[in-house]
Structure 1
Amino acid sequence: MAKLMIFFLHAGTHVIPIAASSVAAFIALSLVVAATLYLSLKSRYNEEINKKVEMFLKAYGTSKPTRYTFPEVKKIARRFKDKLGQGGFGSVYKGELPNGVPVAVKMLESSTGEGEEFINEVATIGLIHHANIVRLLGFCSEGMRRALIYEFMPNESLEKYIFTHVCNISRQPLAPNKMLDIALATARGMEYMHQGCNQRILHFDIKPHNILLDYNFNPKISDFGLAKLCARDQSIVTLTAARGTMGYIAPELYSQNFGGVSYKSDVYSFGMLVLEMVSGRRNSDPSVENQDEVYLPEWIYEKVINGQEWELTLEMTAEDKEKMRQLTIVALWCIQWNPKNRPSMTKVVNMLTGRLQNLHIPPKPFVSSDNRPMPQNTTNT
């Protein structure tokens, strides 16, 4: 083993450990230099992000939603004392506007991307207003402090009403007629995003957690941090990596062998959401779950083919069973692996408002369990 040779200089009765003190000084100096360099690069990086955001806001103009200062946001959020939840892009707090309107304030974390989640939210939902899309009432951008102020949704997310047994929440499961209402309203919100705006909005993270419920349990689509704008006549978009939440991501986002990425990718996510609603089960991630478990769409498809009834705890009338079957067949069409075989959200709305007799059972919407695409390079929220 190599030994550290330390030389001592005798000065009278004093012995000075020259080598040891020199090494310590060198290490200390290196740490100071490294820290200074890191802070300098971080400062320059933050300046670039701020410049990018401010350029966007300048082009965005002064129209609503309202821009607030950070002290104003702090006051609106009541000094961030009432935390509602934590998401991939930051923490959400309950607050109140000066006029008394209750709001949800999302404080974006400084480490999330290059300001893209902030820009995405303001650019997509800042200028649109639809009954089934959460409304952005204001925002703040001061240095690296960024906040988004939304209308308050008192009944939280759809997730808590689907997976009551998983979330340990004593809530009555959603009745079939309420499931149909929520699915239809969500579909109308997505139809507006895809067809009703000047630019098509691709959400890329449709899931129960991002469907919020208002005072009357009307659903509103939220969290546009991963959204992408494109021309309404643009059929295919280019992404550098898959984005979304595993279990809801369409196959084409993993591999181009399944087709091009488009608004049909949102349709797939919607289908998975509806399958979870009707089954009360999570869409398991094939990369991490027990491989012996049955893939949820496969389990549901077999039930539909065999005409089996749903194993739900609540008693259902013949009309309820028909609504459940209608929801299920529509969802199975939405999760077809070939994007071309999936319906548009306009077609989905028509299927949900039509009669069950006019719905045909789709082809098997998946390949075998062993050949499903494996998740990689995903951006989770």
Structure 2
Amino acid sequence: MVIVFFHFLLVLSAAAVGHGPAPPDQDDCRAIRCKRGGPLVHYPFRLKGRHPDHCGSPGFHLSCNNKEQTVLELPVSVKLLVKRIDYVNQRIQVYDEDRCVQRQLPNLTLSDSPYMFSSYQNYYYHDELGNFTLFECSDKNQSGHDNHMIPCLSKRLGFYIKYTDSDYADSDLLYCGKTIDIFEVPRGMVIPNQKYFYFNWSKPECGSCEAKGQGCRPNNTNASGTECYDIPGEHKGPRTRLMISGLVIGAFLLVTSLIGLFWLHHLHEKEKEGQRKIEQFLEDYKALKPSRYSYADIKRITYQFKEKLGQGGYGTVYKGTLSNDVSVAVKVLNNFKGNGEEFINEVGSMGRIHHVNVTRLVGFCADGCNRALVYEYLPNESLEKFIFAAKGENRFLSLDKLQDIALGIAKGIEYLHQGCEQRILHFDIKPHNILLDQNFNPKISDFGLAKLCSKEQSAVSMTAARGTMGYIAPEVLSRNFGNVSYKSDVYSFGMLLLEMVGGRKNIDVTVPNMSQVYFPEWVYNRLDKGEELGMSIEDEEHDKIAKKLTIVGLWCIQWYPVDRPSMKDVVQMLEGEAENLTMPPNPFASKDEMKPRKPINRELATISE
């Protein structure tokens, strides 16, 4: 129905424009402007550079200056700006941009142009041509107001410029000196303080055509004459055109308004449902430790959202300060995003967590459609900024510090899996969600995708995949690899660990050696063959750390969940010595080399994200 309606609008629009395209020669000479609101230029005038030569009559050439103003050039080098063109009365209204046309009069030779000066006033003699002389006089000679003064030319202090007819001598020129003679110029252009001037033309005669709403063009049979013609398209039937255009615009606005109202109603209902779910959740969650803030409190804490820390699909993070001068990070969630699940997940998960390696939730805001989460402020931002630092940036972490960070992250995930009343599965472990405090201690953040389950539950039901590509465990995408469980977070941690060691994304097509594009497989092959890791590590102790982190990461990214260690085992491996670790099975073996622990369906049924 919408397609049919817009087709109808297109038909009406075509009717409003005209009955067909104009002939090529007329289209080349169509009426145009230098800028919106400027005078419309068509025959007998033409715009230089925009109309071909045949579109205008000799002497009727206009141009556009660098300000897109319409310019009339008169012989020899007088330039005036065009205010209006009256094609019916064959009159053009012009003015000097500096309001000092007298400065250009010595260059004016009106007899060489097709124009005649018109005063457009009752003083008949203003349009007469005359000869004038300009004098510079001292103010000793000035008594009262002198109508012959030209203020815009009087620039020297204590002197003024005046004019007089050259045909008779002025009796009051005792203190004056002659400056210049002006010949054959209209008297009305010499008179000072005239803002606009008018010129008429008699040939070509097009006024009668314009009065009838027709176009005017040279007569091919009479070189000196013109002829009228019906203007096709947009110049024909102005009343009909306006009526049809009004109907088209009105119908379009009506449909747009209806669609907008429907969409707003939909968003309003969606938001009401989200608010209802949040309020019900908060009613059941009154015993929660984090504080509840109003939206006015959030604006006060962030100083009216003055300092932005980051931006993402979830919303925007701002820096704020509580009343006790404690810095916080305030995440303002996008309105109408989801129906409240992300907010409930974040508050429901983090309200139960108290661990040194998990970001602390200070408070939250659920004020109408405004939602925000208030966290402790971590000045060193995310781990991603350090392990993926661009060349030239001073962001470097030693392998000792990376080992400490890896151990802290592992302890934080182990706490989520075993240390809470209910097991919390994060489902979005990645460098971007690991924040660093002032001492570079890691803290896990962003629980918007988290799920809660009992500790006895071995599998988690999930209707759609969740997480970030590159860190999602295989079983989250397809159940043929096993059930979704806490082992899914172990896989994500393993991918994160390998990126920390490699200092790069696990998949990097920019590396010079094609074998290194997928870093986990490349580093496994080198370790399996007893080769060096090929990284710039000079210290033997640091080389051991790199090998240990790599082996632990490879254990964590095993293809099947049952082959991966628990986070408790991961912590023990990270705290132990590299010599005590054994190489894991090859997680990158081909299908023929794979030996799954149970039969699997080779035609994998993918769960859409």
1:101–1:26 Cα change, 3 Å: same
Answer yes or no: is the 8 Å Cα contact 2:516–2:522 preserved in 1.
no
Q: Which amino acid aligns with 1:203?
A: H
Instruction: Show the counterpart of 2:486.
Output: 263
Answer yes or no: is the 8 Å Cα contact 1:246–1:285 preserved in 2.
no
In the TM superposition, residue 31 of structure 1 has moved relative to its aligned partner by: 2.4
Instruction: Show the counterpart of 1:315.
Output: 538
Instruction: Show the counterpart of 1:340.
Output: 562
Instruction: Show the counterpart of 2:335.
Output: 110
Instruction: Show the counterpart of 2:393.
Output: 169
In the TM superposition, residue 27 of structure 1 has moved relative to its aligned partner by: 3.3
Structure 2: how far apart are the matches of 1:334 and 1:240? 24
Instruction: Show the counterpart of 2:313.
Output: 88
In the TM superposition, residue 313 of structure 1 has moved relative to its aligned partner by: 3.5
Structure 1: how far apart are the matches of 2:524 and 2:254? 66
Structure 1: how far apart are the matches of 2:504 and 2:11? 62
Structure 2: how far apart are the matches of 1:153 and 1:134? 9
1:375–1:328 Cα change, 3 Å: farther
Structure having the larger proportion of residues in strand: 2
Structure 2: how far apart are the matches of 1:6 and 1:311? 73
Q: Which amino acid aligns with 2:579?
A: Q
In the TM superposition, residue 112 of structure 1 has moved relative to its aligned partner by: 2.3
Answer yes or no: is the 8 Å Cα contact 1:163–1:280 preserved in 2.
yes
Q: Which amino acid aligns with 1:257?
A: N
In the TM superposition, residue 164 of structure 1 has moved relative to its aligned partner by: 1.8
In the TM superposition, residue 15 of structure 1 has moved relative to its aligned partner by: 6.0
CA offsets, 1:264-323, max 9 Å, x none? 01000000011011111202289xxx987631210110121122223334532x222112
Q: Give the 3-state SS of the residue equivalent to 1:128 in structure 2.
A: coil
Larger Rg: 2
Aligned residues with identical type, % of pairs: 54
Does residue 78 of structure 1 match 2:300? no
Structure 2: how far apart are the matches of 1:375 and 1:249? 13
Answer yes or no: is the 8 Å Cα contact 1:191–1:346 preserved in 2.
yes
Q: Which amino acid aligns with 2:496?
A: L
Structure having the larger proportion of residues in helix: 1
2:586 to 360, 364, 374: 364
| CA-atom RMSD in angstroms | 2.7
CA offsets, 1:213-247, max 9 Å, x none? 11111100001111111111111112222111111
1:208–1:19 Cα change, 3 Å: closer
Structure 2: how far apart are the matches of 1:88 and 1:329? 34
1:26–1:114 Cα change, 3 Å: same
Structure 2: how far apart are the matches of 1:160 and 1:203? 21
Superposition pairs of residues 272-283 of structure 1, within 5 angstroms = 272-283=495-506
2:507 to 281, 284, 294: 284
Does residue 330 of structure 1 match 2:330? no
Residue-pair matches, total: 364
CA offsets, 1:317-370, max 9 Å, x none? x2221121111111100000101000000010111112223211000023449x
1:374–1:355 Cα change, 3 Å: farther
- With structure 2 as the length reference, what TM-score do the two structures score? 0.56
Instruction: Show the counterpart of 2:252.
Output: 27
Q: Give the 3-state SS of the residue equivalent to 1:150 in structure 2.
A: strand
Instruction: Show the counterpart of 2:527.
Output: 304
In the TM superposition, residue 24 of structure 1 has moved relative to its aligned partner by: 4.3
1:197 to 417, 420, 423: 420
Long gaps (5+) in structure 2: 1-6, 17-237, 592-601
In the TM superposition, residue 62 of structure 1 has moved relative to its aligned partner by: 4.3
Does residue 122 of structure 1 match 2:347? yes
Q: Give the 3-state SS of the residue equivalent to 1:80 in structure 2.
A: coil
Answer yes or no: is the 8 Å Cα contact 2:409–2:442 preserved in 1.
yes
Does residue 240 of structure 1 match 2:463? yes
1:140–1:26 Cα change, 3 Å: same
Instruction: Show the counterpart of 2:35.
Output: none
Structure 2: how far apart are the matches of 1:374 and 1:300? 30
Instruction: Show the counterpart of 1:11.
Output: none
Q: Which amino acid aligns with 2:350?
A: I
Answer yes or no: is the 8 Å Cα contact 2:352–2:420 preserved in 1.
no
Structure 2: how far apart are the matches of 1:328 and 1:374? 31
* Higher RCO structure (Cα 8 Å, ≥6 apart): 1
Structure 2: how far apart are the matches of 1:90 and 1:29? 33
Stretch deviating more after TM superposition (32-41 or 206-215): 32-41
Answer yes or no: is the 8 Å Cα contact 1:246–1:375 preserved in 2.
no
CA offsets, 1:138-162, max 9 Å, x none? 1101122111110011111111121
Long gaps (5+) in structure 1: 8-13
Structure 1: how far apart are the matches of 2:466 and 2:279? 25
Does residue 40 of structure 1 match 2:262? no
1:354–1:15 Cα change, 3 Å: closer
In the TM superposition, residue 127 of structure 1 has moved relative to its aligned partner by: 2.3
2:577 to 355, 363, 375: 355
Answer yes or no: is the 8 Å Cα contact 2:424–2:453 preserved in 1.
yes
Instruction: Show the counterpart of 1:181.
Output: 404
Structure 2: how far apart are the matches of 1:363 and 1:21? 74
